[in-house]
Amino acid sequence: MEQKAWVISINMGYGHQRTAYALRELAVDGKIINANDYEGIPQKDRLLWENSRTFYEFISRFKRVPLIGNWAFNLYDKVQKIGQFYPRRDLSKSNFVEKNTYNLIANNWGRHLINKLWPKSGEPAKPIISTFFIPAFMAEYFRYPGDIYCVVCDADISRSWAPLMPHKTKIKYLVPNMRTLERLKLYGVSEKNIFLTGYPLPMQCIGGETRNILKYDMRNRLSNLDPQRNYEKNYTHLIKQELGGLLSASDHPFTIIFAVGGAGAQKEIGARLLCEFKEKIASRQMKIVLVAGTKIHIKRYFEEEAKKLGMEKFKNVEIIYADNFEEYFDKFNDSISKSDILWSKPSELSFYTALGIPMIIAPTIGSQEDFNKEWLLKSGFGAEQKDTNFGYEWVFDWLREGHFAEMAMEGFVEGKQLGVLNIKKIISE
């Protein structure tokens, strides 16, 4: 029988929730447990989580305030800063963040949650899979009897992800790339507790081990990303080997999908894209998808900006919004399969480049995203955003030259797409 697990996330931003949603088929009753918002959560626990969420969203927005905004954010960012990787050295010493987290746990933060997951008498303990490190720490601290897994959802991580005593931990880490594997070793986690699985991408965009859905989408995408066939001329053999060749035409217009972060940052970029590409959108040569996520004020902002430009009834302008995470993720996954370029800050969405969708990297917010950006650029999966006032020029120049097609194939060939299946296999062994 297939092993089921307690899949735990936190509904603070999209990263941890998006990661957990891809693993819902492994979850007991197909349900994700939110450590900060589950039925019966003690008020004391809820307030601890809520205070950290509201502060993060405030500081992300406050960053845009002239002069003092950057200063305040940089001060906050130092607490979670990722140190330089080289030279390799022992980074296992705990910092202020770990000590403060464990002090709160020692005062029973999370005990109620772990008690709810405790196996009944005579029953085996189900594995715990957490997409955030704190619930994994809670489970270990309160001596949960089953396996504890922690899914890493960034291309590099701070010391905060490793427990207070990393050499003794029983937590098993499921990591997306080699850098996070090597980083955890520097933090003192034993290599036997680290598994290179790849990021858990949504299987609805992949179609199983054969990747039949993904390959079909890639053939359509490359037809849009290489309109002059400049990339195809140089890499005909690779395209035939990986995809069986290209289609004569795509099943959708050239499409850019722009996603704001969980705190609603950078929504102005989406509005600028409507203005910059209005002519192409009006002639139905191009489509823009603006992702508002679960933020109703972002949806209204996009609607107002479209109305100002007389584009509110354009069929090739789509706004993705839902009032819950599950519906939002489903809509997003359906849309990204029919999109050709992902434009966003380098969050957990950086790993979606493995679906063969090149990324235009919006300005980073925080140390974590700086490292995600570095990974994207080094891997050849994305390129930095240029001046959005001239987006029409450089985007279509890169299209004609085949640069986006090259990034797409790089992500498809080199990226890890079967993270969900790899994780499924590990927890079942």
Residue finishing a domain among 167, 196, 225? 196
Q: Indicate whether 290 belongs to any domain.
A: yes
- 174 and 106 both lie in a single domain: yes
**Concatenated DSSP letters of 23-63:** TGGGBGGG--EETTS-TT--HHHHHHHHHHHHHHHHHHHHT
> What is the DSSP pairing of strand 317-321 with strand 194-196?
unpaired
Q: Indicate whether 405 belongs to any domain.
A: yes
Q: What is the residue whose two structure tokens read 């969420």?
A: 53
- 152 and 298 both lie in a single domain: no
Q: Indicate whether 181 belongs to any domain.
A: yes
Cis before residue 87, ω within 30 degrees of 0? yes
- 166 and 244 both lie in a single domain: no
In which order are the strands placed within the sheet that holds 286-293? 317-321, 286-293, 254-259, 341-344, 359-361, 382-384
Q: Indicate whether 426 belongs to any domain.
A: no
- 67 and 207 both lie in a single domain: no
- Number of domains within the chain: 2
Q: Indicate whether 421 belongs to any domain.
A: no
- 284 and 355 both lie in a single domain: yes
Residue finishing a domain among 160, 179, 196? 196
Q: Indicate whether 65 belongs to any domain.
A: yes
Query: What is the reported pLDDT for 365?
Result: 83
pLDDT in tens, the chain (429 residues): 578 999 999 988 899 999 999 999 999 999 999 999 999 999 999 998 987 655 455 445 545 656 565 655 555 555 567 888 999 999 999 987 788 889 999 999 999 999 999 999 889 999 999 999 999 999 999 999 999 999 999 999 999 999 999 999 999 999 999 999 999 999 999 999 999 999 999 999 999 999 999 999 999 999 999 999 999 999 999 999 999 988 889 999 999 999 997 667 789 999 999 999 999 999 999 999 999 999 999 999 999 999 999 999 899 999 999 999 999 999 999 999 999 999 999 999 999 999 999 999 999 987 889 999 999 999 999 999 999 999 999 999 999 999 999 999 999 999 999 999 999 999 998
Query: What is the reported pLDDT for 79?
Result: 55
pLDDT digits over 294-336, tens only? Answer: 999 999 999 999 999 999 989 999 999 999 999 999 999 999 9
Query: What is the reported pLDDT for 366?
Result: 78
Q: Indicate whether 255 belongs to any domain.
A: yes
| Interatomic CA distance for residues 256 and 340, integer angstroms | 6
| Interatomic CA distance for residues 117 and 146, integer angstroms | 10
- 128 and 218 both lie in a single domain: no
Q: Indicate whether 80 belongs to any domain.
A: yes
Domain CATH code at residue 369: 3.40.50.2000
- 30 and 161 both lie in a single domain: yes
Residue finishing a domain among 196, 215, 236? 196
pTM of the full structure: 0.92
- 213 and 328 both lie in a single domain: yes
Which neighbouring-strand residues pair with 176? none
- 159 and 222 both lie in a single domain: no
Range of the domain at 260: 203-414
